[in-house]
Amino acid sequence: MAGSRNETIKDRSNYLRGTIAEGLENAITGALDDDDTQLTKFHGIYQQDDRDLRPERGRKKLEKAFSFMARVRIPGGVLTPAQWRALDAIAGTFAGGQLRLTTRQAVQFHHVIKNNLKASIAAINAALLDTLAACGDVNRNVMCDANPHRGALHAEAQALAAELSAHLLPHTRAYHEIWLDGDKIITTEAEADENEPIYGKFYLPRKFKIAVALPPENDVDVLTNDLGFVAIIEAGAIIGYDVTVGGGMGTTHGDASTFPRLADTLGFCLKHQAVAVAEAVVKAQRDHGNRQERKNARLKYTVERMGLAAFHDAVAGHLGYHLPPGRGFIFTSMGDGFGWVAGDDGLWHLGLSILAGRVNDTETRRLRTALREVASLDIGDFRLTGNQNLVIARIPSEYRQRIEAILAGHGVPITESGLRRDAMACVALPTCGLALAESERFLPRLLERLGAVQARHGLTEQRITLRMTGCPNGCARPFNAEIGLVGRSPGHYALYLGASPLGTRLNTPHAPDLDEDGIIDTLDRLFGQYAATRADGEHFGDWASHALTPPSQ
């Protein structure tokens, strides 16, 4: 199959094996072969280097400071206390004592050196978890509404997320061979369809993301996903799902052929049809996605190019029938809830705000230690949210005070105020090779300055969604935030405003290039206008969408 370089790499990879195993044995370099670095993404692993050290190492004629990021696949973000403790131990042994909660309810480990990579993957597997398909041109971690306070409904949605994740996993044995010393299997061309019955040897044209939402909550930001299942609830029960297709955030500065997009409703499916529908959508994207140009390879571009009706026909060709029209849904919230919430089964759920998802210990806030102690109680479970936060879930009432005491004893607040409550940031520098500007490292200082601006205008208690990324690939979903900041160059960002606080409307460009002071000055002015002219209960994003005139293009 002719196509981009990545298509050639997949073609020659023998179902994602490449020469990864041989490269791990090469002690001369801390890196892997270029082609293998593309294949390891399918295994949940990214090769990175410390960009802070590049200049000095370059002057000394040294190899870049290579290391690896390993991402754990956690369908719906649910971990047992034992699994949390295992991931914490892996962080301490292999990843510099830090875990990072992602925007897809997963955990990432950074700074894993090549010599420790197999041992870290084996330790993840020992915790009954894996990194397979956490990255790459396949379906990635399936998201689900994080807070289980609506017990039976949530359990059903979570079960679907787990079933979708398992059904759409690659079938290749390469992962087990390379990382877990499984028996090696030579796959012949004649065995291709049997080896990968859904994906085929070329897998998908690009990454693929699925989320399951439970209205009226939209904490998974479902319309930003390639494929969404939005529960339709009647008489207190899920009767089926509205199926949404074609969402995605990534774009490229100055390239009009790329753009963020919210998903369209494809139709409605009954509960027992959901997995078959997902497979059919994946196969339609496999067959019709753009394999010539990766920047236009996501499903959103396939739907945009073909049109929704034609794409529906392609899905029906695999499914055997057309979906009836969607039933319709309404969201009333998008962010996470914080503090204690009672479930309908009498158990309690504690939402914790974790800035940029970084679980570590500092001198004043020993978050990692506190969560390890909570996990040692061996009650409930840990649920990662799609907004880089955490829910300590299914807690009997008699444990509430004990958990609060553990958190307070380590300086961990239960809630945050102001913009910190709904802020997200990608990792960006120093480890992301795509970053054009800082994100996670810049976010705390920016929030401190903007917090003072909020207070001056009497807006401290107003929830406003702010999301920042170091580049326009959009990993922290900035284009669906009331305030989106997207890196353009070191210290400079494009400002986007006016998304719906419910995740149902994208924002629009407001200022193309602002430095830190420019961001503060601009938002100071706008917060003042908002405070003076907003309607009762009006959110900042809704106000900005009608009060601000988009700049001429």
Catalytic residue set: 71, 140, 207, 209, 426, 432, 471, 475
- Give rounded-to-5 percent helix, strand, coil for the chain: 35, 20, 40
Q: What is the DSSP string of 453-487?
A: HHHHTT-TTS---EEEESSTT-TT-GGGSSEEEEE
Burial pattern 378-400, b for ≥16 Cβ within 10 A else e, equals: ebbbbbbbbbbbbbbbbbeeebe
Residue in 73, 72, 63 with CA at minimum distance from that of residue 32: 63
Given phi > 0 = left and psi -120 to 50 = alpha, else beta, which region is 254?
left
402, with CB counted inside 10 A (0-12, 13-18, 19+), is middle
* CB-CB contact of 486 with 480 (8 Å): no
CA atoms within 13 A on the CB side of 374: 32
H-helix or E-strand spanning residue 12: helix 5-12
H-helix or E-strand spanning residue 280: helix 274-288
Give the amino acid at 552.
S
Given phi > 0 = left and psi -120 to 50 = alpha, else beta, which region is 284?
alpha
